[in-house]
Amino acid sequence: MSTPRKCLYCNQELVGRIDKKYCDPHCKSAHQYKKAREEPETFYNKVDDQLQLNRKILKKYNKGGKAIIRSHILLNEGFNPNFFTHYWKNSKGDVYLFVYEFGFIKSKEHAVDKFVLIKWQDYMNKRLKI
């Protein structure tokens, strides 16, 4: 007589197919999520997490399409200007870095470091630089 098979997540006895590992889809999903969280974070995940955080912060402070904000405010919230998805150069030669549809450029005004925030516009497609 064989020992009863148990769900890999909740340890309930399994009924049904011989190759069944989980009692239901919830346990399967929860077990895979738990397993993924126990593994060390990959480089890809770190980059993706930072890009998502940068986008969230830029979106929060740029409600109207253009804004100027002191750099320490963004940096204190975890913004990292070294993580961006693409850039765009305007006709004056200024290079804006973008995190998806939200762009920024460093600026200094009255000896205070700031970021000029903009949102991607259709006319920028003509000058797209990747």
Residue 125: CA count within 13 A, CB half-sphere: 3
Domain limits, the chain: 1-39, 43-129
Strands 95-99 and 128-129: unpaired
Mind listing the pLDDT tens digit for each residue in 35-80?
A: 887 887 788 889 999 999 999 999 999 999 999 999 999 999 999 9
pTM of the model: 0.68
Mind listing the pLDDT tens digit for each residue in 91-108?
A: 999 999 999 999 999 999
Three-state secondary-structure class, residue 27: helix
Contacts of 60 (CB under 8 A, 6+ apart): none
Which tokens belong to 85? 């998805």
Which tokens belong to 57? 């912060």
